[in-house]
Amino acid sequence: MKNQENALKEVKTLLKKHSISYLRKAFGQKFLIDFSILERQIILADITGKDKVLEIGAGLGTLTRKLAEKAGKVYTFESDKKLAHALEKEVSVFPNVEVIPEDAVKSPFPPFNKCVSNLPYNISSPIMFKLLKHDFEHAVLMLQKEFAERLVSKPGSKDYSRLTVLASLKTKIEIAQIVPKTAFYPVPKVDSVLAVINPIRSPFEKDLEERLEDLLRVLFSRKSRKVRKVLRSFLNKKIQDKAFTKKIVSKLPYAEERIKFLQPIQFINITKTLIRLLEEVGIGWEDVFSGTKT
Positions in the binding site for ligand SAH (CB under 6 A): 27-32, 56-59, 62-63, 77-80, 83, 103-105, 118, 120, 123
> Buried b / exposed e across 78-116, counting CB within 10 Å, b at 16+?
bbbeebbebbeebbeebebbebbbeebbeeebeebbbbb
Strand order in the sheet with 171-179: 97-100, 73-77, 52-56, 114-118, 138-144, 192-199, 171-179
Q: How far is the CB of 166 from ligand SAH (least distance, A)?
A: 20
Of 90 and 209, nearer to ligand SAH (C-beta) is: 90
Of 184 and 267, nearer to ligand SAH (C-beta) is: 184
The answer to whether 186 and 32 are in contact (CB under 8 A) is no
Residue 21, SS3?
coil
DSSP summary character for residue 144:
E
Q: How far is the CB of 81 from ligand SAH (least distance, A)?
A: 9
Residue 12, SS3?
helix
Q: How far is the CB of 126 from ligand SAH (least distance, A)?
A: 8
Q: How far is the CB of 147 from ligand SAH (least distance, A)?
A: 14
Backbone angles phi, psi at 120, to 5 degrees: -65, 130
Query: What's the farthest any 2 CA atoms get from each other in the chain?
Result: 72
DSSP-H helix ranges across 101-226 = 124-131, 145-151, 162-170, 206-219
Of 27 and 285, nearer to ligand SAH (C-beta) is: 27
227-238 and 206-219 helices, crossing angle to 10°:
100
Q: How far is the CB of 105 from ligand SAH (least distance, A)?
A: 5
Cβ-based burial of 195 (10 A; exposed 0-12, middle 13-18, buried ≥19)? buried
Of 80 and 209, nearer to ligand SAH (C-beta) is: 80
Of 51 and 214, nearer to ligand SAH (C-beta) is: 51
Of 123 and 169, nearer to ligand SAH (C-beta) is: 123
The answer to whether 113 and 52 are in contact (CB under 8 A) is yes
Q: How far is the CB of 127 from ligand SAH (least distance, A)?
A: 8
CA 24 to chain centre: 21
The answer to whether 218 and 292 are in contact (CB under 8 A) is yes
Q: How far is the CB of 177 from ligand SAH (least distance, A)?
A: 15
Of 118 and 161, nearer to ligand SAH (C-beta) is: 118
Of 27 and 204, nearer to ligand SAH (C-beta) is: 27
Q: How far is the CB of 101 from ligand SAH (least distance, A)?
A: 9
